[in-house]
């Protein structure tokens, strides 16, 4: 049968009407059975149907009522058909709408899953990059820490050299046991090395702490990255489900939000904060590496400069000792020559005194013999006066020579003392030169090179 004109509006109107009491309707044009009318018969008082048929007529409907009843049935059947047709149309439309809605919802879910996979992939890539950067940075910091350890070990040799030099120089003899420029530079070097060692130990501790922080934040990022990988796999698995999948089933209890579930904002903030803290520690590690570079450069420069200052002081001191020793040896030569001359002079004085014995004997013998002149011949003549004068002159001359001999002998003794002092002082200077040059400076040739003091060996 033809569908009523009017489309969905008419169907909607029909649905509205069916919810109320049906109003009389005009019967649409259709091929209905022809109504057959019987010929009216006489029913008057003179007719043959009278009281005899009255009992058969009491329970029957009238013919118009019969027609009305059939008409009502027709209308009810038509209305039922219309209602069924509307319901079928509604059911079909609802099914199509539900299918389209389900398809759109599934497409939206797929789109959101795809977007979610992109977001997870983005943060996973950022975390992976941060993990790799932290691992590389920790490796670089470990290399710097190894350099610090090498430099700390290398400083033991300069410290041992400086202390050994100070101990060796304590064996200098007086008067060379002085607090000279070399000793001041050696003390400065020992103090510098001790301060450098303390600085290196503190920096080593700081580097160890920073490496631990780097590893801690790397572990946090790795845990976050691992969760992202697992979530990515879960969402990727969910994205592969379709209506034709055989491994899907009902899970009514899953259609609810977990109380501990995060929001997209807190989810993104969690990874952002992890990366931010990791970046902060990475920057701190980079700054620490730069600081270690500067420290090692300054340490090597300071040690080499101080070593050069000590070596220069040693060279100057050895030069002074050499010069002093040469001067002492020169004076010793003069003293030895003077001692020889003085000994010759003493020998000459002794010979001169001895040479005065014969004239003294002659003069005294003459005087003695003339004292035996008889009587008036024992005269104080010119000869007597001259002999007496000669004896006195000889006596004065001998006394002067003896005095001069004593003075010469004392001078010789002084010269001998000076010679002994010079020889002793030369020995002291020789010992000082041996200690400074053969012991200290030779030991300082084992001073570490700059390459080693910078921690590259």
Return d(Cα 87, Cα 411) in angstroms, integer: 155
CATH number of 118-241+263-318: 1.20.140
On whether the CB atoms of residues 349 and 408 are closer than 8 A, the answer is yes
- In this predicted model, what pLDDT tens digit does every residue of 232-283 receive, in sequence order? 898 888 888 788 878 877 777 776 766 777 788 888 898 999 999 999 999 9
pLDDT, one tens digit per residue, over 315-364 is 888 888 888 889 888 998 998 988 898 889 889 988 888 888 888 888 88
**Number of helices (H) and strands (E), helices first, in the chain?**
9, 0
Place of tokens 């992976």: 128
> Residues in the chain with pLDDT < 50?
1-27, 29-30, 32, 35-40, 42, 48-49
448, 299 in Cβ contact below 8 A?
A: no
> Can you give the residue ranges of every domain in the chain?
118-241+263-318, 331-372+379-452
pTM, full prediction: 0.65
Coil vs helix vs strand at 261: coil
10 Å CB burial of residue 439 (0-12, 13-18, 19+) is middle
């Amino acid at each position: 049968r033809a569908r009523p004109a009017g489309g969905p509006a008419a169907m909607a109107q029909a649905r509205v009407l069916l919810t109320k009491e049906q109003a009389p309707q005009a019967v649409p044009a259709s091929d209905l059975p022809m109504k057959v009318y019987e010929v009216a018969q006489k029913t008057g008082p003179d007719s043959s149907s009278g009281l005899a048929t009255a009992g058969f007529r009491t329970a029957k409907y009238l013919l118009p009522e019969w027609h009305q009843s059939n008409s009502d049935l027709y209308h009810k059947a038509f209305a039922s058909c219309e209602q069924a047709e509307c319901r079928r149309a509604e059911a079909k439309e609802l099914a199509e709408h539900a299918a389209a809605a389900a398809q759109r919802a599934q497409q939206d879910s797929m789109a959101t899953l795809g977007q979610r996979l992109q977001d997870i992939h983005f943060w996973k890539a950022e975390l992976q990059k941060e993990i790799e950067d932290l691992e590389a940075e920790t490796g670089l910091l470990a290399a710097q820490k190894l350099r610090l350890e090498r430099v700390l070990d290398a400083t033991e040799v300069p410290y041992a050299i400086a202390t050994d030099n100070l101990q060796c120089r304590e064996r200098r003899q007086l008067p060379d046991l002085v607090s000279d420029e070399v000793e001041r530079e050696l003390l400065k070097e020992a103090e510098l090395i001790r301060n450098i060692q303390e600085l290196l130990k503190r920096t080593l501790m700081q580097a160890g702490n920073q490496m631990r922080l780097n590893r801690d934040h790397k572990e946090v990022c790795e845990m976050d990255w691992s969760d992202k990988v697992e979530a990515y796999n879960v969402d990727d698995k969910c994205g592969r489900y379709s209506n034709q999948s055989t491994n899907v089933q009902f899970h009514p209890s899953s259609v609810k939000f977990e109380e501990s579930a995060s929001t997209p904002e807190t989810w993104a903030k969690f990874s952002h904060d992890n990366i931010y803290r990791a970046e902060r520690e990475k920057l701190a590690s980079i700054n620490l590496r730069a600081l270690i570079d500067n420290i090692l450069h300054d340490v090597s420069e300071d040690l080499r400069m101080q070593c050069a200052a000590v070596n220069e002081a040693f060279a100057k001191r050895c030069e002074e000792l050499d010069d002093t020793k040469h001067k002492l040896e020169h004076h010793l030569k003069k003293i030895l020559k003077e001692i020889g001359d003085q000994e010759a002079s003493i020998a000459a004085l002794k010979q001169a005194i001895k040479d005065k014995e014969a004239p003294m004997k002659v003069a005294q013998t003459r005087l003695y013999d003339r004292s035996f002149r008889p009587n008036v011949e024992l005269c104080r003549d010119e000869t007597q006066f001259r002999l007496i004068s000669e004896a006195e002159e000889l006596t004065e001359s001998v006394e002067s020579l003896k005095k001069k001999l004593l003075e010469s002998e004392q001078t010789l003794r002084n010269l001998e003392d000076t010679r002994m002092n010079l020889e002793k002082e030369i020995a002291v200077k020789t010992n000082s030169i041996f200690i400074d040059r053969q012991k200290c400076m030779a030991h300082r040739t084992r001073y570490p090179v700059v390459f080693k003091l910078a921690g590259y060996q």
